[in-house]
A and B are shown apart, each in its own frame.
Chain A
Amino acid sequence: MDLNSIYSELILEHSQNSHNYRRIDAPTLSHKGHNPSCGDEITLQLKLESEIIKDAAFSGVGCAISKASTSILIDLITDKTKQEALNLVDTFIGMIKREVTNEEELEILEDALAFQNISNLPARVKCAVLAWHTLKKSLE
């Protein structure tokens, strides 16, 4: 297991003092995601304007991986349409499950590609996908 690929610069940056770790005034959507087995609990807030995600932020407690994953997700979906965001979620989950492996298809995940190897750490997969599942539930 290569810890370097998990606790990378990028992930550490996003897990500490993330610019997305804040609260939005008057969000249009606010959804709590939790991982009872670890105690992770993240609230995702979204501001939608006619199908476009204008702003997003998160709060709560979680490990470095779940926080980084949430923060990177937020960077990725900001200014995207709901449909684009859902597509990103599916691609991300597909990548984690090793169902989507085509590199071109994965490209759209940008920084979130950092989690490609998380399945080498099966106990932490739940941390990496928490925010993505939460987003999906909140948009659907």
Chain B
Amino acid sequence: MDRVPINKVGDFLLVSLQGDIHDAVALALQEDLGNRIVSTRARLILLDISALQIVDSFIGRLIGDIAAIARLLDAEVIVAGMQPAVAITLVELGLDLKGIRTALSVESALAMAGIGARI
């Protein structure tokens, strides 16, 4: 089974969602991420979704669940790089990822988090 890699960069975790994420991959990602948040004490997770051409309700739910898990472990998720067509479609679908921080790109997420200099 494929696993989504989780990279520690500076003092945050970078997760890049790509291609096709099946149920099992999604579950494994949640588990891995939970463990990595605890083991690295990272407070910030950048979820780079710039490579996703669509976000359906399954992926929408995964993003929401990841954010909720992170919050329970005292970390925050910033979703970075959503394509405009994806944003429009997601809103029309009825999902708006309310309460989740977003950034145009990984770089602007870093600037937002005030940690650009620290990497």
Question: Are chains A and B native binding partners rather than an unrelated pairing?
Answer: no
State the A residues within 8 Å of B (CB): none
